[in-house]
Chains A and B, each alone.
Chain A
Amino acid sequence: MFEGTARAVDDVSFFLDRGEVLGVVGESGCGKSVTAQSVMRLIPEPPGKIVGGRILFDEMDLAAVPLERMGSIRGNRIAMIFQEPMTSLNPVYTIGNQIAEMFQLHRKLSRKESWKRAVEMLAKVQIPAPERRVYAYPHQLSGGMRQRAMIAMALSCDPEILIADEPTTALDVTVQAQILDLMMQLQQDYETAILMITHDLGVIAEISQRVVVMYAGKVVEEASTGTVFADPKHPYTHGLLRSIPKLGDRSAGDRQRLAEIKGMVPGLLALPRGCRFHPRCPEAMEICRERLPDLFSVGPGHCVRCWLYGETSGETETG
């Protein structure tokens, strides 16, 4: 059923420096994953389509290169790990086979050499007894181990960028911390830039240097991680931060309700006029209902898409 064209991601712009960790945060359905998959050109066509814009990587526009050429970029220069370690590995091949495949494909190594390198990669992601685990099938490993194997696979060809799409969401809290530690350590060893996509501000605080906050397919705030936590500007970012439970917050007898952002992310086919957040915004003004704000600069490297911080000269939302 086609109900019209939905722009899951609209005019999202950000940059990622060499070796930098950038966090992309937002609620479910705000376009984080679509953004990530677009960079890799993984959006299936049809039904999906990149209708405009550029994805610049090392002076190359990934949105415009022929799909055949993406083969030498995917996995080799930009790698990706996914949310569900349970289903992201092929159940009928050993993890050794799936990691060795990377070396055979991108490094043209022999089968034997590739398997040797696969064992080394498993050791790097701290999987115990890697020389035996290469022969394990995904179902024989726990979720955390599988995510380690995914990381080993992603980093095997020493990519310049690692896109991590909610890599810890499906894991136990203790395992989450281990995986994040591992990623940070490997990030320093390999000097890989990481695009960390998550809805978990805790993950952002731990790992990333800069943050892009997305809402309904638009970037609403962008700043360094410290700034976002210390001095958030956008009412949506405020809301996100307030909805994190804090330990020791319950002073005796005074149990506070956790703040929530009222309402839901709008459907992409029924986006509100004006600022996309205004129906849920506690500080909505008249102009918010009429016109979509620009990204206004409010400090060095700090931008906000909100009328509270800008002149009333923004573009008129027509769509």
Chain B
Amino acid sequence: MATYIARRLIQGVIVLLAVSMICFLIFRYMGDPVLTMAGRYATQQEIEEVRRAFGLDAPTHVQYARFIWNALHGNFGKSYVSRVPALGLILERFPATFELAATATLLSFALGLGLGVMVSLKPYAWQNRLVMAGSLGGISTPTFLTGILLIMIFSVYLGILPPYGRGETVTIGFWRSGLLTLDGIRHLILPAVTLAMFQLAVLLRLTRAGMREVLTEDYIKTAWSKGLSSRKVIFKHALRNVMIPVVTVAGLQFGEVIAYSIVTETIFQWPGMGNLILTSIFETDQPVVVTYIMLAAVIIISINIVVDILYALLNPKIRYD
């Protein structure tokens, strides 16, 4: 197991290098940050000075090597716009996005699994057909539409939930949390539900399909023949087998959740990384965008390793040696 994780970590480093390289190449063709920084009325000389000041006059490969060297020292450069370290800027926003994404993932995992099992047991009951139809809606409705509809219903018509912002937060160390105040939690509900909707539908359908297949397996018949209660047969003997694909997909989806959170955060004016990154792209704030992409890559690689470990715990046929 240890060798396996080590190997995965090395692979992760290679992926990070590749990602950073692609970032750099893209930025060669994504507008000139110097023009933004120097201002619209700068003279040619002023522009050159800014370019030199930020080291942007060097050839791409030199800039890249410089970036990697600095990154290894934890220095991802300063934002061209706010002139503060990019990493700090992003990490400051990280708790907001993490809390949103984690809540959404937990919500979709718990509800997806629960409803999926329920629906699989009586697939032809009308309530369950309704759930399935709803999940189809969940899959096909784009996140921005779901968000706007939820705001319309719960904030505008019913007026029971706040439509934007993070509400009251509590700071513990560097972590600004919205989960510890009632106001913060009320603000979290709509964006989390919006973000969870799509994942929920996918997990529900996956769980249902898996359960229906597993319930016809011989070992389920064995479990019944042992005299076990339906609770034991379903949750011990069937669900554990269904969990194997579900966990894989749920893990992959966490990456998607972070990606979709850009849209969700924009709709709900959520002060997270997604909102920051959108502004930074408009302003060609290269260090911030690159740092964000690198951080996203780190998160996704870590999740994949965690999923692989869970996979081995769930499925005894898998041994990493």
Q: Measuring CB to CB, which residues of chain A are less than 8 angstroms from any residue of chain B?
A: 37, 40, 42, 70-76, 79-80, 82, 84, 87-94, 101-102, 105-106, 137, 139, 150, 153
Chain A residue with Cβ nearest B317: A139
Question: Would you call B40 an interface residue if the criterion is a C-beta within 8 Å of the partner chain's C-beta atoms?
Answer: no
Our count of residue pairs bridging A and B at CB distance below 8 angstroms stands at 73
Contact of A74 among B218, B226, B240, B316 (CB under 8 A): B226
Contact of A89 among B219, B225, B227, B315 (CB under 8 A): B219
* A137-B316, A137-B317 as given contacts; A91 in contact with B219, CB under 8 Å: yes
- Pairwise interchain contact A71-B227, C-beta atoms closer than 8 A: yes
Give Cα A116–Cα B317 distance, bound, in whole angstroms.
Answer: 25
Question: Would you call B314 an interface residue if the criterion is a C-beta within 8 Å of the partner chain's C-beta atoms?
Answer: yes
* A90-B237, A92-B314, A92-B316 as given contacts; A153 in contact with B226, CB under 8 Å: yes
Chain B neighbourhood of A150, CB < 8 A: 222
Chain B neighbourhood of A82, CB < 8 A: 218, 221-222
Q: Chain A's nearest CB lies how many Å from the CB of B310? A: 13
- Pairwise interchain contact A42-B225, C-beta atoms closer than 8 A: yes
Q: Chain A's nearest CB lies how many Å from the CB of B320? A: 16
Give Cα A72–Cα B226 distance, bound, in whole angstroms.
Answer: 9
- Pairwise interchain contact A90-B314, C-beta atoms closer than 8 A: no
Chain A residue with Cβ nearest B228: A105
Give Cα A125–Cα B6 distance, bound, in whole angstroms.
Answer: 43
Give Cα A296–Cα B67 distance, bound, in whole angstroms.
Answer: 95
A-B contact sample (5 more), CB < 8 A, given A89-B222, A90-B219, A153-B222 = A76-B227, A80-B225, A82-B221, A88-B222, A101-B228
Chain A neighbourhood of B226, CB < 8 A: 74-75, 79, 101-102, 105, 153
Question: Would you call B241 an interface residue if the criterion is a C-beta within 8 Å of the partner chain's C-beta atoms?
Answer: yes
Q: Chain B's nearest CB lies how many Å from the CB of A60? A: 15
* 9 residue pairs from A and B, CB less than 8 Å apart: A40-B225, A74-B225, A75-B226, A89-B222, A90-B219, A92-B240, A101-B228, A105-B226, A139-B316
* A74-B225, A79-B225 as given contacts; A91 in contact with B317, CB under 8 Å: yes
Chain A neighbourhood of B228, CB < 8 A: 71, 75, 101, 105
Interface residues of B in 224-263 (CB under 8 A from A): 224-229, 232, 237, 240-241, 244
Q: Measuring CB to CB, which residues of chain B are less than 8 angstroms from any residue of chain A?
A: 217-219, 221-229, 232, 237, 240-241, 244, 314-317
Chain B neighbourhood of A102, CB < 8 A: 226
Chain A residue with Cβ nearest B219: A90
- Pairwise interchain contact A70-B227, C-beta atoms closer than 8 A: yes
Chain A neighbourhood of B218, CB < 8 A: 82, 84, 87-88
Give Cα A45–Cα B72 distance, bound, in whole angstroms.
Answer: 63
Q: Interface centre among A76, A88, A90, by most B CB within 10 Å?
A: A90
Contact of A88 among B219, B240, B314, B317 (CB under 8 A): B219
Give Cα A71–Cα B233 distance, bound, in whole angstroms.
Answer: 12
- Pairwise interchain contact A91-B224, C-beta atoms closer than 8 A: no
Chain B neighbourhood of A70, CB < 8 A: 227
Q: Chain A's nearest CB lies how many Å from the CB of B160? A: 42
* A71-B227, A72-B227, A105-B228 as given contacts; A91 in contact with B221, CB under 8 Å: no
- Pairwise interchain contact A87-B227, C-beta atoms closer than 8 A: no
- Pairwise interchain contact A90-B227, C-beta atoms closer than 8 A: no
* A87-B219, A92-B314 as given contacts; A71 in contact with B241, CB under 8 Å: no
Chain B residue with Cβ nearest A72: B227
Give Cα A197–Cα B314 distance, bound, in whole angstroms.
Answer: 35
- Pairwise interchain contact B316-A105, C-beta atoms closer than 8 A: no
Give Cα A76–Cα B228 distance, bound, in whole angstroms.
Answer: 10
- Give me the 5 closest cross-chain CB pairs, A-B, nearest first: A75-B227, A74-B227, A75-B226, A87-B218, A90-B219
Give Cα A146–Cα B202 distance, bound, in whole angstroms.
Answer: 36
Chain A neighbourhood of B221, CB < 8 A: 37, 42, 82, 88
Chain B residue with Cβ nearest A84: B218
Q: Chain B's nearest CB lies how many Å from the CB of A111? A: 14
Chain A residue with Cβ nearest B124: A46
Q: Chain A's nearest CB lies how many Å from the CB of B319? A: 10
Give Cα A89–Cα B219 distance, bound, in whole angstroms.
Answer: 5
Chain A neighbourhood of B227, CB < 8 A: 70-76, 105-106
